[in-house]
């Protein structure tokens, strides 16, 4: 088993890197056999696929002047969760990420986010 703070520290580092604006740099934190589940783009298996997804995120988020902001983070030796906010020219959404961590590497990451606000004409 890893150190008592491995999960928390690994995910804290993930957000620190992500805040720098280059999502591809987060790929170094994933295990070779990691799984990432994104509510918009789907499932990515393995570090290489996750790195390609992060490159796609650089483009998609940049195209709408988007910014993810960490609102809250908690974790232990093998898991963590983060509450986040996404702001862009299109508005804001809130979400939660859950993470499994082994030996300082993310093995599973899944995001959940609030649905978009209802439009007034609906």
Q: What is the pLDDT of residue 121?
A: 61
The two counts, helices (H) then strands (E), for the chain are 2, 6
- Tell me: the pLDDT tens digits for 17-37? 988 889 999 999 999 999 999
Q: What is the pLDDT of residue 1?
A: 41
Residues 6+ apart with CB under 8 A from 96: 81, 82, 83, 84, 111, 112, 113
Query: What residue has token string 């093995």?
Result: 107
- Tell me: the pLDDT tens digits for 65-110? 999 999 999 999 999 999 999 999 888 999 999 999 999 999 999 9
pLDDT (mean) for 56-65? 92
Q: CA-to-CA distance for 97 and 118, rounded, in angstroms?
A: 23
Residue 118 DSSP label: P
Strands ordered across the beta sheet of 67-75: 42-45, 30-38, 105-113, 91-102, 79-88, 67-75
Single out the residue of 53, 7, 8, 5 nearest to residue 27, CA to CA: 53
pTM of the predicted model as reported, rounded to 2 decimal places: 0.87
pLDDT at 113 over 50: yes
Single out the residue of 12, 8, 21 nearest to residue 57, CA to CA: 21
Distance between the two ends of the chain, CA-based, in angstroms? 51
Report residue 120's pLDDT band, with 50, 70 and 90 as the boundaries: low
Q: Which two tokens stand for residue 17?
A: 């890197």
pLDDT (mean) for 43-58? 97
Residue 78 DSSP label: S
């Amino acid at each position: 088993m890893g150190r008592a703070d491995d999960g928390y520290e690994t995910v804290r580092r993930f957000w620190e890197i992500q805040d720098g604006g280059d999502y591809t740099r987060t790929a170094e934190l994933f295990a070779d056999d990691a799984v990432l589940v994104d509510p918009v783009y789907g499932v990515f298996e393995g570090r290489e696929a996750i790195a390609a997804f992060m490159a796609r995120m650089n483009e998609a988020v940049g195209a709408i002047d988007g910014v993810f902001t960490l609102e809250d983070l908690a974790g232990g030796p093998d898991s963590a969760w983060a509450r986040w906010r996404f702001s862009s020219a299109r508005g804001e959404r809130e979400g939660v990420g859950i993470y499994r961590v082994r030996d300082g590497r993310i093995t599973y990451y899944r995001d959940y986010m609030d649905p978009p606000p209802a439009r007034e004409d609906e």
